[in-house]
Amino acid sequence: MPNRTQAIVASVPPSGDTLTAYDRAHLVTYLKLLDAEAMQIDWTVTARSVLSLDPEADVDAAQRVYAAHLARAHWMTRVGFRYLLK
């Protein structure tokens, strides 16, 4: 069950080169994913605690959702943050 303060994650985050409402709603999620990656926390633990996914129920789907959101988090550090400064 998702944390009440945590936004529900989609199966696939945005992939375009524009900051979306989804991105804005998930800024904290993206930061948590990047922090967990930097701390080398196992992706399954991060998927469960940050994304409220159950990797044991469907490991492939959980890994796809995790990887897609982590990639979007990295995009935010390279490109997306600029839109926040405007």
Place of tokens 């469960």: 48
Between residues 35 and 83, which one has the greater pLDDT? 35
Does residue 72 carry a pLDDT above 90? yes
Task: Please report which helix (H) or strand (E) contains residue 60, including its range.
Answer: helix 59-75
Q: pTM of the predicted model, to two decimals?
A: 0.87
For residues 54-74, give the mean pLDDT: 96
Handedness of CA 15, 51, 2, 85 (dihedral sign): negative
Average pLDDT of the segment spanning 39-44: 98
Whether pLDDT at 2 is above 50: no
In sequence order, the 6+-apart residues with CB closer than 8 A to the CB of 50 are: 29, 32, 33, 36
Amino acid of residue 83: Y
| Those residues with Cβ within 8 angstroms of residue 4's Cβ, 6 or more apart along the chain or in another chain | none
Give pLDDT tens digits for 3-34.
444 568 999 999 989 999 999 999 999 999 99
